[in-house]
Amino acid sequence: MTRELLWRRVLMALFVAVLAFTGYHAVRTVGDAIYWNAHRDEPIERWMTIGYVAHSYHVPPHILHRALGLPPEPDRRPLGRIAHDSGRSMTEIEARLTYAIVHARPPYPPPAPPENISRPAMPKS
């Protein structure tokens, strides 16, 4: 086997490895996008973490931490465990989070423009 043939095989193996790596991450990215698109504004449940709720509702996690009186560090405990550890009911936890979410986001959806307003004419080029 010549050196040139060996280098071609090595380069081909590297190319296949890079292609596989890129394909794997592309599939994961598309899968995550599909998942989060379908799980927007999920009803708050005991099994969710603060990070999951923040991601689902497009709210910074520190706002939800503050609403529950927790330090802003990441907290991977499910909400049911947070309720138990803090001596609160899950209903209270859900109410505090919902209040924080509503007040952290802009009015949703924005009001539609009135239908009787005429649109300005586009200038001719």
Q: Which two tokens stand for residue 49?
A: 């973490």
Residue 39 is predicted with a pLDDT of 66
Residue 5 is predicted with a pLDDT of 87
What whole-number distance in Å separates Cα of residue 122 and Cα of residue 105?
34
Which portions of the chain are predicted below pLDDT 50? 110-111, 114, 117
3-state secondary structure of 56: helix
Cβ atoms within 10 Å, residue 81: 14
What whole-number distance in Å separates Cα of residue 112 and Cα of residue 69?
37
Residue 22 is predicted with a pLDDT of 93
Residue 111 is predicted with a pLDDT of 45
Residue 110 is predicted with a pLDDT of 46
Residue 120 is predicted with a pLDDT of 53
What whole-number distance in Å separates Cα of residue 45 and Cα of residue 28?
25
Give the chain's count of helices (H) and strands (E): 5, 0
Burial letters for 97-125: b for 16+ Cβ neighbours within 10 Å, e otherwise? beebbeebeeeeeeeeeeeeeeeeeeeee
CA distances from residue 54 to 48, 50, 51, 96, 115 in whole angstroms, order as listed: 10, 6, 5, 13, 35
Q: pTM value?
A: 0.62
What whole-number distance in Å separates Cα of residue 103 and Cα of residue 32?
27
